[in-house]
Amino acid sequence: MATLEQFVTAVIASPSPYTAMDRIYVTNRVLALIGEGTPVAAADSKLASLTTALVQTAVQNGQIEATPSAKEILSDQLMDLVTPLPSVVNQTFWDKYQVSPETATRYFYQLSRANDYVKTKAIAKNVVFNTATDFGDLEITINLSKPEKDPKAIAAARNQPQNGYPLCQLCMENEGYLGRLGYPARSNHRIIRMTINGEPWGFQYSPYAYFNEHSIFLDAVHRPMVINRQTFVNLIEIVKQFPHYFVGSNADLPIVGGSMLSHEHYQGGRHEFPMMKAPVIKKVDVGVAGVTAGIVKWPMSTLRLSSTDTAALVAAAVKVHDAWKDYSDESVDVRAYTDGTRHHTTTPIARKVGDQYVLDLVLRDNQTSAEFPDGIFHPHQDVQHIKKENIGLIEVMGRAILPARLKVELAEVAKYLLGRHNHMVAMHQPWADALKAKYQFNDDNVTEIVDREVGHVFARVLADAGVFKWNDAGLAAFDRFIAVLKKA
């Protein structure tokens, strides 16, 4: 019973509602979940190891099936026992906020890691490296943290009745939700309630974080993403409440937007992305007093607005956004509308630097064409062997989220480059042949070179997504837009 006793002791020692008097009660709560057979021995006394052993016990006792979905649901039920109630978490958070915003977020982040809502063990599997480019060091990650879809769960989920609850994975109703086949477990999930410009919002951390303190700010109401004046007001208000965090929004159109456009939300956290380090190379006048503006040296077309006056900053952002929505320049394939369909929006990112509020506005265009059916300003076909998915907020800022398949595929590319037997996927062949012609490979340099070249491909991906290319024609086109913007 050592595993069970150790887990119950951990529950009582945690910030949960339970005390020593509750030991028998908690023990029976756990037994109801895992069954009454002899518990599997844990690898060590860490809470995560104890939980894993209890989940294995439940499988051994026939309490659950040995599927990823069933194990995740039970694991989060067990972790819920070490997690305070939402009301307690919120009270503690806002009490600590009176000390400082950093004190409050530190508490909530540590709690979200300790109860395994933030999947630190899974996140540690991700491959992460940097690559030097003309636009600074880009951050490359191969995302191995999210569990693979279980085929049995997918098949079973198809036969499950869809009750529409919760409406999506960003709804408030996920807090404490058990989970089901094809839908993630959320028993140990907690959301901080907050107000943004008089409206109820929530604040949580991302379970499979892509960067430090990866946060999600979500509208309490399930409504679609939109970029407008209120977006800029909201982003700045969040930065006022959490000045040590950046916060940004995915674009609100398909192809250039994120993967979840059905629920209004923003992402933020404590990380300085490559784009944030990129300098302004040309100051411009957007025609709003009190706001300084400039073109950022970045492969995606970006205007940086700065001011101590947040009302002026919002006015400038609205002016840029509205002008871009209706702007066309056929000479560089920029078209605001085709057949009445809007193609232009922005990806906005807010942060505070000293006493200045800063808004980076990235110009986006989601047109497609016969030549580029996936998107004119989207990764083109010749780089899709590395990255085919949408370029969302995080990647806009210079951190690649590459698919898990690449870990195995790049290892086979390396074998090919070394002239060894391999199972390289055919779509990598042109790229690999180009690398062979460029370098002399050996065991000592092949991994470093492949990683570096992956980073260069990502730089190309960002360049593909840039509406005004980083060449004479593109920069001249950017200047024409600025001239129109100033007059607007």
What is the per-residue pLDDT for 159?
Answer: 54
Domain membership flag for residue 415: no
Q: Is residue 55 part of a domain?
A: yes
Judge whether 238 and 266 are in contact, CB under 8 Å.
Answer: yes
Q: Which two tokens stand for residue 155?
A: 């098949």
pLDDT digit string (tens) for 458-475? 999 999 999 999 999 999
Cβ partners under 8 Å of residue 361, min gap 6: 302, 303, 304, 305, 317, 320, 321, 346, 347, 348
pLDDT score of 6 more than 70 = yes
Question: Which pLDDT value is given to residue 429?
Answer: 97
**Does the residue 49 lie in any domain?**
yes
Within 13 A of 139's CA, how many CA atoms are on the CB side?
19
- Strands (DSSP E) contained in 54-171 are 127-133, 136-142
> Residue 35's domain spans which residues?
2-64
Check whether 78 has a pLDDT greater than 60: yes
Residue 457 has a pLDDT of: 98
The mean pLDDT of 409-436, rounded to a whole number, is: 97
Contact status, residue 395 vs residue 299, Cβ threshold 8 Å: no
Summary mean pLDDT of the chain:
94
DSSP 8-class letter at 257:
B
Residue with tokens 């006015």: 315
pLDDT, tens digit, 9 for 90 and up, residues 334-379: 999 999 999 999 999 999 999 999 999 999 999 999 999 999 999 9
Q: Are strands 136-142 and 399-402 parallel, antiparallel or unpaired?
A: parallel
pLDDT digits (tens, 9 = 90+) for 106-155: 999 999 999 999 999 889 999 999 999 999 999 999 999 876 555 455 44
- Split at pLDDT 50, 70, 90, the class of 1 is low
How many domains is the chain partitioned into structurally? 1
With respect to residue 35, please indicate whether it lies within any of the assigned structural domains: yes
Strands 265-269 and 337-338: unpaired
Instruction: Let me know if residue 87 belongs to a domain.
Output: no
Residue with tokens 């540690």: 124
pLDDT at 488: 79
Kindly give the residue spans of alpha helices, DSSP state H, lying in 250-309: 274-277
Instruction: Provide the pLDDT confidence category of residue 162 given band limits of 50, 70 and 90.
Output: low
- Residues 169-219: pLDDT tens digits? 999 999 999 998 888 999 999 999 999 999 999 999 999 999 999 999 999
Q: What are the structure tokens assigned to 247, written together?
A: 């916060």
Give 42's DSSP letter: P
Got the DSSP string for 174-205? GTT---BTTB---TT---EEEEETTEEEEEEE
- Average pLDDT value for residue range 298-313: 98
Instruction: Yes or no: say if 356 and 309 are a contact pair by the CB < 8 Å rule.
Output: no
Decide if 42 is inside a domain.
Answer: yes
Whether 379 is in a domain gets the answer: no
Residue (of 255, 259, 256) closest to 267 by Cα position: 259
Q: Assess if residue 22 is contained within a domain.
A: yes
pLDDT of residue 260: 82
Q: What tens digit of pLDDT does each residue of 261-298 get?
A: 899 999 999 999 999 999 999 999 999 999 999 999 99
